[in-house]
Chain A
Amino acid sequence: MLFGKECRKIIRSLTYIIYCFIVVLFFITQYFSDCNEREYPPVKNGDYGYKISEDHDLIMGSAVNSLISDYLGNSYVCYPLGFYKMVHLKKSDRTTLEGYIKEITGLDKDGLEDVKNNSQKYYLSSGLSENVEYDVPEIPVATTMTYDRFTEIMGDIDDILGGGSEYAVDRLVHNFSQVPMTYEDAQAEYEELFEKDRISGSYARLFCDYIGIVIGIMPVFVAVALVSADRRRKVSELVYTRKISSFRLVFTRYAALVTTMFIPVLLSMTAAALQLMKNYSGENYNLSGMFTLPVFWLLPELMIVTAAGMLITEMFSGGTAIIVQFAWWFYDVLSSGMVLEGRIGKFTLVCRHNTLYQRTSFLLSRDNFVFNRLFYLAAAIVAAVLTVLVYELKRGGKFNAIRLFGQGGLLRRKA
């Protein structure tokens, strides 16, 4: 069977062995060592961290206070493309902002000046620069302000700031509705671990969080190695002149790549499940949860990274796919800023939830998560079909890979 032969080719390659080593190493050092003990109930008078309340009034109040503070100091921390940037607005943008603040709070420019005078001023050093910050007293939100209109305004403000600000709509809930957890909250969360997540749900999320980081980048190396092997080994013409259809060949290779690359993930899942059985022996855990969620979470990610790698490698020569994938992965991982829990947007490649708790925070993004994974599943199939088309064109001599780097490459600097 051709599928078996392609799998054998992949498994014997050095790139695949390195891939397996990195996946397993990441699993052992990040997840396995983190979860080698069971969770215990919270103790009284401890520090239980924060929880997300989703209270619209709290979100609007906290966000507008933060906005006014930033406005008064005219300095806004943003993470466009995942990188830290301090933004200072020009006069016209400040005027637009004043209009929005007035709409939310009723405070006009003079009112804002009064707030400034009544606020405690302090200096915050960030690297070489020093910014003025204001500890603004609580400013009430106008009673006429609806949450829908508020999020609309926040979206506009985020655009003015160039994106990646803490006022971005998809970050509002996380940034401005965190409240300290009480002992009762911590106890309830602990109970959720057993009752709602049946233990495995929490551990599966944490497993996916860690493994998802590796799966967001590593498969591209194996995909590029397999797809470019024909050219490197000068076997392309031999394969092109075979009877097999481009569709069958490309999809068989794709299926072989996805299957072989999912093997170390499955083995890691199994190890995680065995660890959970040992740590929670006698508890009512749902073992299948250790497999179902990771498959739904990680397989589409593996599929899209592999398919994109194949497509780009067929279209461009050399390791262009690795550069593109690295840029995508880097941007995706960094664009979360410091948010590691429940960070799941509609198009997030590497979904994060770096805790055993905060189930509510994860469930807040459930619709996004389901859409996201189905979207990437469909996108992966589309990319594989496009790979078939490109392969068929190359096979018939109607298209040559576009060379970007190296001799004769489009991006090669002329001496």
Chain B
Amino acid sequence: MEKKIEIKKVNKFYGRKQALFDINLTIGQGMFGLLGRNGAGKTTLMKTLAALHTKKSGEITVCGVPIEKAREIRAMTGYLPQEFSMYPSMKTDEALDYLGALSGIPKSERAKKVTSLLRRVNLIEHRHKKVKELSGGMKRRLGIAQALIHDPQVLIVDEPTAGLDPEERIRFRNLLCEVAEERIVILSTHIVGDIEATCEQIAIMDEGRVLWRGTVTQLLENSRGHIYTANVEKRFMPQIKKEYIVTGMLAQNDYTTVRIVSDSEPDLPNAVLAEPDLEAAYMYCLHSSGCDVRGGEE
């Protein structure tokens, strides 16, 4: 069976409010990044893929299984929610063992799996610690371990690096890349750096719609010719922020080097075209799709 998720014309409502609009995506094996601002609909889409939400219309198949067959979907999907939490008084290995039991893994296999996963996520030394005693990063790693306990074909991780320190974030990304070698991993985030470091295929969402889908390289190419840098006097900064999409600022003595996204050459002295980076390319994508991404003060 081919390892892919197919999403066709999916619509989702919360009461009268439409949360997803005609979503079409094909997600293959490896890491897939879902990028978007807060409230873009990423979590709704992830929950729908994890059979936690029902769609209003459209079709979703996970490795050939329709999403309506919730029990089969649950058996083949691992899910790490945005706010990962566990019973605080349980020990780390006990929590993993409990969730393994809920996943239907026989006791004889569970002990081995728990040990091997804790080793893989570098928590083996903390196995007897209570969940409430783990740091934020450790909890996220435990979150990945619980999502992998039943060896799923699909792993869905929702905003996994939010709140982590840089070291933990890098460790977590590497872990995700490792597990993606043998399965589909969907990573939802609003942090561009996470996508840049891990994903080749991405989709950008905003207000329940997919604005763009393709590879990271394509996204960068898409923005080529629209990213500029310029050295400007600090006193002009409020005006510049109002008129342009500023993706970076570096203060140097009396000048500030700004990085700007613009459809045409900006009317600034010394403005030169720059090599696109993913953050600017993402901002250009949002801007060219009609989203208001200017950060200037009124």
The residues of A with any CB-CB pair to B shorter than 8 Å are 1-2, 5, 9, 12, 229, 233-235, 237-245, 249, 395-398
Contact = CB atoms under 8 A, between A and B. Distances in A.
Nearest to B81: A237
B74 A396 contact: no
15 contacts: A5-B97, A233-B86, A234-B85, A235-B86, A238-B79, A238-B81, A238-B84, A238-B146, A243-B71, A243-B74, A243-B102, A244-B102, A245-B71, A397-B52, A398-B54
Nearest to B85: A234
B84 to A, nearest CB: 8
Label chain A's interface by main secondary structure.
loop
B121 to A, nearest CB: 16
Given A242-B103, A395-B52, A396-B70, 4 more contacts: A5-B98, A233-B88, A238-B99, A241-B77
Contacts of B88: 233
A249 B85 CA distance: 19
Closest 6 CB pairs of A and B: A234-B85, A242-B102, A397-B53, A241-B79, A243-B75, A243-B104
B85 A244 contact: no
B150 A243 contact: yes
Contact of A239 (B50, B83, B102, B104): B102
Nearest to A229: B87
B101 interface: yes
Given A242-B102, A243-B102, A396 B54 contact: yes
Contact of A240 (B52, B75, B78, B89): B52
A243 B52 contact: no
A328 B163 CA distance: 47
A399 to B, nearest CB: 10
B47 interface: yes
Contacts of B47: 237, 397
B52 A241 contact: yes
Interface of B: 47, 50-54, 70-71, 74-75, 77-79, 81, 83-89, 97-99, 101-104, 107, 146, 150
Contacts of B79: 237-238, 241
Contacts of B102: 2, 239, 242-244, 249
Nearest to A398: B54
A72 to B, nearest CB: 63
B54 A241 contact: no
Given A2-B102, A5-B98, A241 B50 contact: yes
Nearest to B102: A242
Nearest to A9: B87
Contacts of B81: 237-238
Contact of A234 (B74, B75, B77, B83): B83
Contacts of B74: 241-243
Contacts of B99: 238-239, 242
Nearest to B83: A234
A12 B146 CA distance: 22
A245 B50 CA distance: 15
Given A237-B79, A241-B79, A2 B71 contact: no
A239 B74 CA distance: 10
A222 to B, nearest CB: 16
A235 B84 CA distance: 8
Given A5-B101, A245-B71, A235 B85 contact: yes
B103 A238 contact: no
Contacts of A1: 101, 107
B70 A233 contact: no
A244 B87 contact: no
Nearest to A5: B98
B263 to A, nearest CB: 41
Contacts of B97: 5
A159 to B, nearest CB: 45
A260 to B, nearest CB: 16
B139 to A, nearest CB: 12
Interface centre among A12, A234, A398 (most CB of B within 10 A): A234
B52 A244 contact: no
A244 B97 CA distance: 14
A82 to B, nearest CB: 40
Contacts of A5: 97-98, 101
